[in-house]
Amino acid sequence: MTGLNLNKIYTPRKEALQNPIYKVMEKEEYEMTEKERIEEGQRRLQMPDLMTRRKPINFVHSQDEQLINHDEDGSDFVFTDISASKNIRSRSIFVRENDTGVLREASWEERDRMQFMYWPKEGQHHEIVEMLQDQHLPRVFDQLRHVDVLDFINIQCEPDSPDFIRVHERVYEDLDQRQEYDILHSTRHFGGMVHHYVSKDKTTKFFSYLVRNGRTEDAMDLLNLYKIINPDSEFSIESKELGDEDLLKYYVQFHGLHEISEYLDSAPQQSGSV
């Protein structure tokens, strides 16, 4: 369903101007270069990780009353394992609280700060930029910069962080409202959008969009994914034995989408992939 539109994947980006490079190739060389270009395009379409929202960390190791107010500046001490083999989830980070003498595991906010301090990503900021704040997102969405927003939040936050999940959900809901799903088509974010609609049981608009645009194979894939993720839903149970064509018609009947019935009868059986 994601699609492989090489023109979109290799859309020029704003970078420093460079002189163009021209190459004269034989047919075999050109075919090999084109194959490598397709493979690189497929690599760029790899979905970002999908994770559930992180749970708070509230683990106290010990308390030493003799260390209360041990720092004359009133600062807490943070102890970080900076081993290169560790990541943000496996790295040991402890905090000694100055006010209480408690030695505890660092909170997620503290872990994010240490991660940024020692291992910042290119383009990452210390705090969430205005563009990603709720009050500014509608203006960015009006400019149809949904891909920019998702690219930015993927650099800024870990997949299980509240801000990461919040921004992704805002993008997907706005696209659903506008029915501008193809903004994410042939990008690495398309799969996450589809998963969101399926897991939240919000597939009717997207399904109708696919059918109206003759992408019935994609519509079938959407329903089959829905049945995998929601096996106990009424629709999944009642449509368990249906083939693809009957499954499409049953979904239309189940949700009362009679206005798109004519598209199922006339639309060609083709995928939206390019």
DSSP class per residue in 184-249? STTSTTHHHHHHHHHHTT--HHHHHHHHHTTBHHHHHHHHHHHHHH-TTSHHHHHTTT--HHHHHH
* Residue of 14 and 134 predicted with greater confidence: 134
Q: Say what the pLDDT of residue 211 is.
A: 94
Give the global pTM.
Answer: 0.81
pLDDT surpasses 90 at 104 = yes
Q: Which of 28-37, 82-91, 235-244 has the highest mean pLDDT?
A: 235-244
Q: What does the block give as tokens for 33?
A: 């270069």
- The residue-averaged pLDDT of 149-178 equals 96
Provide the CA 77 distance to its chain's centre, in angstroms: 34
Strand partners, 60: 104
Note the pLDDT tens digit of each residue in 35-44.
776 666 667 6
Q: Say what the pLDDT of residue 178 is.
A: 97
For the chain, the domains span: 60-118, 130-266
Q: Say what the pLDDT of residue 267 is.
A: 53
pLDDT surpasses 50 at 56 = yes
pLDDT surpasses 60 at 14 = no
- The residue-averaged pLDDT of 68-88 equals 91
- The residue-averaged pLDDT of 11-33 equals 70
Note the pLDDT tens digit of each residue in 234-243.
999 999 889 8
Q: Say what the pLDDT of residue 272 is.
A: 45
Q: What is the mean pLDDT of the chain?
A: 88
Note the pLDDT tens digit of each residue in 60-71.
999 999 999 999
- The residue-averaged pLDDT of 171-187 equals 95
pLDDT surpasses 50 at 89 = yes
pLDDT surpasses 70 at 83 = yes
| Dist CA 202 CA 237 (whole Å) | 18
| Dist CA 78 CA 97 (whole Å) | 9
pLDDT surpasses 90 at 5 = no
User: What percentage of the chain carries pLDDT values higher than 90?
Assistant: 66
